[in-house]
């Protein structure tokens, strides 16, 4: 029940409107039900209000790719890699770098 989850997430948001995880969960839930407009809204809100929440960048980049906005995806991945490096989160950095390489066409293999 997607709407039940969203309802519960909005209850959490009402009790703490500054919780980045709740914003992330709402964006991800909208993304899962293909509500692109709201997914973008909450992912972009996260980037603006919580720029060090590095999990946002991968999913926002993938959403841009899904919408055929590769340049924006590449830019988001680059920003995310910078933020991950600043936090010394090498796992997130590696995932973002893989997504960046794929979007930028740098993920080729030698034959």
Instruction: Give a yes or no: residue 89 inside a domain.
Output: yes
> Which pLDDT band holds residue 111 (cuts at 50, 70, 90)?
very low
Q: How far is CA 27 from the centre of its chain?
A: 8
Taking only the tens place, the pLDDT of each residue in 70-89 is 999 999 999 999 999 999 99
- Has residue 81 been placed in a domain? yes
Domain of residue 64, CATH code? 1.25.40.10
Residue 111: inside a domain, yes or no? Answer: no
The count of domains in the chain is: 1
CA–CA dist 40, 47 (Å, integer)? 10
State which residues form the domain around 25. Answer: 2-103
Residue 109 lies in a domain: no
Dihedral sign from CA coordinates of 32, 38, 40, 42: negative
Global pTM reads 0.89
């Amino acid at each position: 029940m997607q709407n039940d989850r969203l309802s519960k997430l909005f209850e959490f948001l009402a009790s703490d409107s500054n919780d980045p995880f709740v914003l992330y969960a709402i964006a991800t839930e909208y993304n899962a039900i293909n509500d692109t407009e709201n997914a973008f809204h909450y992912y972009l809100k996260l980037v603006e209000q919580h720029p060090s929440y590095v999990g946002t960048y991968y999913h926002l980049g993938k959403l841009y790719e899904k919408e055929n906005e590769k340049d924006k995806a590449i830019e988001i991945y680059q920003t995310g890699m910078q933020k991950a490096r600043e936090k010394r989160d090498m796992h997130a950095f590696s995932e973002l770098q893989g997504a960046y390489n794929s979007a930028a066409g740098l993920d080729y293999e030698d034959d």
